[in-house]
Structure 1
Amino acid sequence: MTTPFIGEIQIFGFNFAPVQWAFANGELLRITQNTSLFALLGVNYGGDGRVTFRLPNFTGRVGVSQGQGPGLTDRALGDTVGENTVGLIWDEMPYHTHNLQAYPQPATDPGPKAGAGLGGPRSARLYSAAASPNTALFPAVVNPIGGSQPHENRQPVLALNYSIALYGEFPQFN
């Protein structure tokens, strides 16, 4: 392997950081022990800038280029954006409908049977044979549900080891 640039980030398929490399996991380092790396990274990823600075943190994240593409938000070096989970609000849900189908079924049956009755959980009493016309349906049939629980919001990924070179060649500015 050629001599890396100080601060170069590589992806490795093994579970350790090579000699003179560190995991890119947001570790807090002392400036006095890593002056060259601090000169390149500064406090873009955290730290107080007097005694400490942080390495980039790729734990559970993917990299994205700094700058701004057409129609995209500007990203500065070290910005972290996005969420692992998100709860949808009404304005974010696409318009959709749910069909309700009813079939004759004796009210004494403990739950829906194939081809008969209203579909729903066995514990819910969805209708009654003794109900008069224009009786409201059981509220769970037509009311919103969901419990406001957030849902997974990550693209498919493959877990690999992101490491950053602590030593090597100091890159020349262009």
Structure 2
Amino acid sequence: MSEPFIAEIRIFAGNFAPRGWAFCDGQLLPISNNTALFSLIGTTYGGDGRTTTALPNLEGRAPMHPGRGPGLTERRLGQRVGVETVTLTEAQIPSHTHTVRANPASGTTNMPTNVASIAGAGADRLYGINTTTNLVDMSDQTLSATGGSQAHDNLQPYLVLNFIIALQGLYPSRS
């Protein structure tokens, strides 16, 4: 493999950063020991710009190209966007209820053997389209409440790998 450019990022399947590389985990590095790297990334990913610079933090993030395409929102280098969890608001999913209806008559068997015995026959169906029969609303506790302003995961499918950045190598020339 050829010598990397300083600040080049690669995906690495190992559990360590090779010599001359570091994990893209947002760590702060002293500028005095990484002047070439600082001249390329500056404080784009953090640091105070006087004594420290920060490496990109790709933990729990997917990389994205900066810029703007037709109909797309502009993204600048180093910008962090998105969240791992989402809490839906009432405006996104208004409060509502679902009614479960059932026949109040006693069952004729406690071990149904086929769909017909569960569904019943004619107007006496347990589950049916005709709601003008003797169906009654079941208890509100039949269906549990959901939501409750609790966050849910909002992650695309993923495979965990390490991103590493070259601290040493060739200084890239501008074309």
Q: TM-score, normalising length from structure 1?
A: 0.76
After TM superposition, give the deviation of residue 154 of structure 1 in Å. Answer: 0.7
Percentage of matched positions with identical amino acids:
50
Closer, same or farther in 2 for the Cα pair 1:91/1:30, shift >3 Å?
Answer: same
What aligned pairs does 1:67-106 form with structure 2 within 5 A after superposition? Answer: 67-93=67-93, 98=98, 100-104=100-104
Hey, what's the Cα distance between the residues in 2 that align with 1:93 and 1:73? Answer: 25
Per the alignment, in what secondary structure is the counterpart of residue 101 of structure 2? coil
Per the alignment, in what secondary structure is the counterpart of residue 53 of structure 1? strand
Match of 1:157 in 2: 158
Match of 1:168 in 2: 169
Hey, what's the Cα distance between the residues in 2 that align with 1:66 and 1:18? Answer: 27
Aligned residues: 155
Aligned AA for 2:36? S
Deviations 1:70-122 (A, max 9, x none): 2221111100010110011133239x98462222156xxxxxx9859x9xxxx
Contact 2:5 2:172 in 1 (8 A): yes
Hey, what's the Cα distance between the residues in 2 that align with 1:65 and 1:92? Answer: 30
Unaligned runs of 5+ in 1: 107-112, 119-135
Hey, what's the Cα distance between the residues in 2 that align with 1:97 and 1:64? Answer: 40
Hey, what's the Cα distance between the residues in 1 that align with 2:105 and 2:62? Answer: 53
**How large is the RMSD of aligned CA atoms in angstroms?**
3.3
Match of 1:121 in 2: none
Q: TM-score, normalising length from structure 2?
A: 0.75
Per the alignment, in what secondary structure is the counterpart of residue 66 of structure 1? coil
Between 1:97-106 and 1:45-54, the stretch displaced more is: 97-106
